[in-house]
Amino acid sequence: RGASLREWMSCKRGRDPTVERPEMSVKGIADVLSKRAELRDRDVWIVRHAQGSHNVSVDYEYDPKLTAEGKQQVRSQRKLSSQLPVDLVLVSPLRRTLETATGLFPDHPNMVAVEHLRESVSATCNIRLPISDLKKSFPHVDFSNVPDDEDPYLARFEGPEGVEGLRGDKRWDALVSAECIDYETDEEMLARSNKVLSLIASRPELRIALVSHAEFLNVFLHAQMVKGAPYRMYNFLENCEIRRLAFQPPSDAKGKDEASPDKGLPRVKAAGKLSDGGARFEGPEGVEGLRGDKRWDALVSAECM
């Protein structure tokens, strides 16, 4: 309710249409190869939540819920998710992920909330309700692994004071104008990603679903050190999209171990004048005087130094 456009844009993410999609071994689910030993002998599916009110409007409610379209996305994906032999569902403790997990895996006996799976600290749409409130709406979810009733990320927002004692509309009226003053870095999200991987490795279950958010899952994918897979920091999962993580032993990998996740991405021709960033590339000389294909033929082999 009353969120700023900047905050909304930080919550509204999409997939870059120029980036190729990985191959699929299960119809409807893209495979992502991972070299992380924590995934050895495990099948892991990652899921982004369905469409939330914050994805379509600046007028979203506190801890946004799914829209009618989001609920339809869940129903549409249920035929696919019902085929997954999931023993454990790990889910972010925000309402949109809890609703998505509950819809995709109805009556699942082993659904566990994990604070590390939540979205980045960036906007009020990523602040969660107190766990004591969430337990009332999602009694089938195990919240015992979430240590704090109040959202610990509140400390990263400027104001308001006394929000801990407020509930319902009064709480949101106080929070709606709060501004993030301590944005979570990619390094912090990477640290959370590694904690999630450690949690997966420590659990006895071998078939696990992770239900989380666009920005976090993107960093989580980068943590897999995928060989030749076409991922960039802006290649987000779509709402309610499911991907499968598949462990790839290092001996099966092609090329050097330090291969970049961006290897194999299609090159995109630049338009207009050479940007100021051109000075950061080694060669070629005289590119400023070239146009069209000749310009691109000269630039394609340039290397960032």
pLDDT tens, position by position, 12-59: 554 444 444 444 456 778 888 888 899 999 999 999 999 999 999 888
Q: What pLDDT is attached to residue 12?
A: 56
User: pTM, whole model, 2 decimals?
Assistant: 0.75
Question: How far from each other are the two terminal CA atoms of the chain, in whole angstroms?
Answer: 46
Contact call for residues 84 and 45 (beta carbons, < 8 A): yes
Q: How many CB atoms lie within 10 A of CB 282?
A: 9
Q: What pLDDT is attached to residue 224?
A: 78
The phi and psi torsions of 30 (rounded to 5 degrees) equal: -80, 140
